[in-house]
Structures are given as structure tokens and as C-alpha cells.
Amino acid sequence: MRQRVLCLGVVPLLLIAWSLVLGSCQPTVLGPTTPSGYRLVLPEASQTVRSHPLPLTVRVSDASGQPVDEVLVHFHIPEAWASRAQVDPPIVATRQGQATTTFRARAAGQLMVQITVEDRTVDIPITVVGDTPRF
């Protein structure tokens, strides 16, 4: 009986905690950029705690929501983290509105990736967990 009461109290707390975690994984939307007015979407997978290598994908659309091709997306590791991580390739042109690079880390911990399209730059925190391969 005591276990049942304990479960009834713990289960709602776990559900609340899980909803907070999932709620924090919403995509980030930026825009419009200057001069083209592009809208950028950084998918939730780009911002979650993950092992690596981690594909980072940015979606670029025009003002009407249509995917835009041949837009340059710059992925950059700030100098403070340059010895601990890399992105390859650092500059990607969109195809079907998406640009993807691969993030790799040399050390566990929280790192930062800067993503730039035209005049918009956003810092994406990435928490690296687990073993880190050499590259």
C-alpha cells in the first residue's frame, strides 16, 4: 500500500519534469534577415543534450514560408572553444531550404556554435556527453 501511495506522488512529478524538458526543446525561429528577409529555423535537435558527432541543420525560408536554395549558412566555433570542437564544413549553401554541418567535440562539457545567415547570428549551446573521439 505504501508503494502505491509513493507511486501516485512520484508519477505526477515525473510527468511535470518530462513536460518541462520537452517544452524546452522547441525550435528557435529567427528573422527576418537583412537584406533578403529570410526566416531561419534551428531545429530542436540542434539544441538538445547529445552525444557526437552531431548534425546541425538550419532551415531557411522566404517570407511566405517557402524553402530557399543557395543561401550561405556559416557555422563557427568561437575562439574560446576552438581547441575543443569543430564543425565541418563551416559554410554550407542551402538545398531545399536546409543546410547541415557536422559538429564534433574533443572534450565533454558545454560548448557553443555560432550560426550566421546574412545579418543574423545566434549562439547555440551544445552539451557534449560521453566519450569524445579524437579527430
- In this structure, what C-alpha cell is assigned to residue 67? 524553402
The better pLDDT of the pair 5, 75 is held by 75
Instruction: For 35-84, write each residue's pLDDT tens digit.
Output: 888 888 876 544 545 556 788 899 999 889 899 999 999 999 989 888 88
- In this structure, what C-alpha cell is assigned to residue 82? 576552438
What global pTM score does this model have? 0.71
Residue 5 lies in a domain: no
Residue 18 lies in a domain: no
Three-class DSSP category at 114: strand
- The CATH number that applies at residue 42 is 2.60.40.10
Instruction: For 79-126, write each residue's pLDDT tens digit.
Output: 988 888 899 999 999 999 999 999 888 877 888 889 999 988 888 888
- Count: domains in the chain: 1
Residue 35 lies in a domain: yes
Around Cβ 6, how many Cβ atoms within 10 Å? 10
| Helix runs in 30-98, H state only | none
Pairing of strands 85-88, 109-117: unpaired
- pLDDT the model gives residue 40: 83
Domain residue limits at 106: 27-128
On whether the CB atoms of residues 132 and 105 are closer than 8 A, the answer is yes
Q: Evaluate the omega torsion of the peptide bond into residue 35 and state whether it is cis, within 30 degrees of 0.
A: yes
- pLDDT the model gives residue 98: 95
Residue 103 lies in a domain: yes
